[in-house]
């Protein structure tokens, strides 16, 4: 499973987005250490602040399935013409479960993608003394 295949799975997952308010579909595909892929999409609510991002949903779903080690993450936003990176909250959330070298790809509908890492998206990561792992 390479990053292109993972990104394609993220794009497919975006079609399952529940985003009637923003009309901004996001899909995420998380490659787990065992080779399986957990996908998710953003899920919104009429109480707007309750929206759950696709990436966070994928992490939660994987953890709940007993998958705790991860190899890569892809995020696809087919409603954006530019690559949309994970929001600040998601960066912190994902960093709980991966290291700074963890590869992340994100892209929009334009075809262009950005390949980066957890450490690039969340530099100066803090609270190490509180980390459970
Ligand atoms: N969203 C994500 O799912 N992931 C991101 O990285 C950016 C934002 C969702 C949240 C909300 O449902 C919609 O996109 C607009 O912000």
Q: What is the mean pLDDT of the chain?
A: 96
Q: Is the pLDDT of residue 133 over 70?
A: no
Q: Is 66 exposed, middle or buried (0-12, 13-18, 19+ CB in 10 A)?
A: exposed
Which ligand 1 atom sits nearest the alpha carbon of residue 21?
Answer: 12
Distance 29 CA to ligand 1 centre (A): 14
**Alpha helices (H) along 75-122:** 88-95, 118-121
Query: What's the token pair of residue 48?
Result: 């707007």
**Alpha helices (H) along 41-131:** 54-64, 88-95, 118-121
Which ligand 1 atom sits nearest the alpha carbon of residue 51?
Answer: 12
Residues 18-69: tens digit of each pLDDT = 999 999 999 999 999 999 999 999 999 999 999 999 999 999 999 999 999 9
Q: Is the pLDDT of residue 109 over 80?
A: yes
Distance 100 CA to ligand 1 centre (A): 22
**pLDDT band for position 15 (cuts 50, 70, 90):** very high
Q: Are 38 and 61 in contact (CB under 8 A)?
A: yes
pLDDT at 127: 86
pTM of the model: 0.96
Q: Whose CA is nearest to atom 4 of ligand 1?
A: 53
Query: What does each C-alpha distance from 125 to 24, 62, 95 come to in angstroms?
Result: 29, 23, 8
């Amino acid at each position: 499973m390479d990053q292109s295949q993972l990104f394609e799975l993220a794009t497919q997952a975006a079609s399952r987005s529940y985003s009637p308010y923003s009309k901004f579909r996001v899909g995420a595909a998380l490659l787990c250490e065992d080779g399986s892929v957990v996908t998710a999409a953003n899920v919104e609510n009429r109480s707007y602040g309750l929206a759950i991002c696709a990436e966070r949903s994928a992490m939660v779903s994987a953890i709940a399935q007993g998958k705790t080690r991860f190899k890569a993450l892809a995020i696809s936003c087919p409603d954006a013409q530019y690559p949309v990176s994970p929001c600040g909250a998601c960066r912190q959330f994902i960093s709980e479960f991966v290291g700074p070298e963890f590869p992340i790809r994100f892209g929009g509908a334009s075809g262009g993608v950005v390949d980066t890492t957890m450490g690039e998206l969340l530099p100066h990561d803090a609270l190490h003394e509180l980390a459970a792992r």
